[in-house]
């Protein structure tokens, strides 16, 4: 039995293990970072820590949202850093029996897909958070999280 945070992204439901989630926040102002990839929305100052924020929908090939004010931020713990994920809503935290988790079909097999479950008559795609991003993405986000306010101001002037 494991606990999962279930969230909505566009019209789909996804889930991540609760132990990967540091906290869930209402949408906050995010500072854009010049030259960042399109899936990086920007950075957030979370109690003195610079946290990169990604638009998971863009990473999955969807267009970005029109308005974010009703969105939630799920702050997840990745190796060596925290990352914020913008989602439409967090719908629930639920316990799932490991035996109920089905493997994705071979055609959809990807290391980021941990499995699929049926919850309240809807399919939920369970994600392996450590595999959502590529190694290059991790390196970039780590570099972004190390920026200080002066470096960000300088980058903003250059754009």
Domain boundaries, the chain: 2-158
**How does the average pLDDT of the chain come out, rounded?**
82
pTM across the whole model: 0.79
Question: Is the pLDDT at 81 greater than 50, yes or no?
Answer: yes
Question: Is the pLDDT at 152 greater than 60, yes or no?
Answer: no
Q: How confident is the model at residue 130 (pLDDT cuts 50, 70, 90)?
A: confident
Question: Is the pLDDT at 34 greater than 70, yes or no?
Answer: yes
Half-sphere exposure of 50 (CA within 13 A, CB side): 16
Q: Which CATH number fits domain 2-158: 3.40.50.720, 2.60.40.2480, 2.40.50.180, 2.40.40.20?
A: 2.40.50.180
What's the start-to-end Cα distance of the chain, in Å?
49
Question: Is the pLDDT at 62 greater than 70, yes or no?
Answer: no
pLDDT for residue 158: 52
Q: How confident is the model at residue 102 (pLDDT cuts 50, 70, 90)?
A: very high
Mean pLDDT of 76-102: 91
In this predicted structure, which of 21-25, 47-51, 121-125 has the lowest mean pLDDT? Answer: 47-51
The answer to whether residues 113 and 104 touch, using CB atoms and an 8 Å cutoff, is yes
């Amino acid at each position: 039995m494991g606990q999962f945070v279930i969230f909505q992204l566009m019209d789909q439901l996804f889930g991540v293990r609760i132990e990967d989630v540091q906290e869930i926040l209402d949408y906050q102002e995010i500072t854009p970072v010049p030259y960042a990839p399109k899936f990086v929305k920007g950075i957030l100052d979370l109690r003195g820590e610079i946290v990169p924020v990604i638009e998971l929908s863009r990473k999955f090939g969807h267009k970005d949202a029109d308005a974010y004010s009703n969105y939630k931020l799920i702050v997840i713990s990745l190796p060596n850093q925290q990352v914020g994920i913008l989602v439409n809503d967090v719908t629930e935290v639920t316990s799932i029996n490991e035996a109920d988790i089905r493997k994705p079909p071979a055609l959809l097999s990807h290391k980021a897909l941990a499995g699929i479950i049926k919850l309240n008559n809807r399919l939920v795609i369970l994600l392996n958070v450590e595999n959502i991003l590529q190694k290059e993405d991790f390196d970039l986000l780590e570099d972004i999280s190390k920026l200080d306010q002066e470096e960000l101001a300088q980058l903003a002037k250059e754009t």
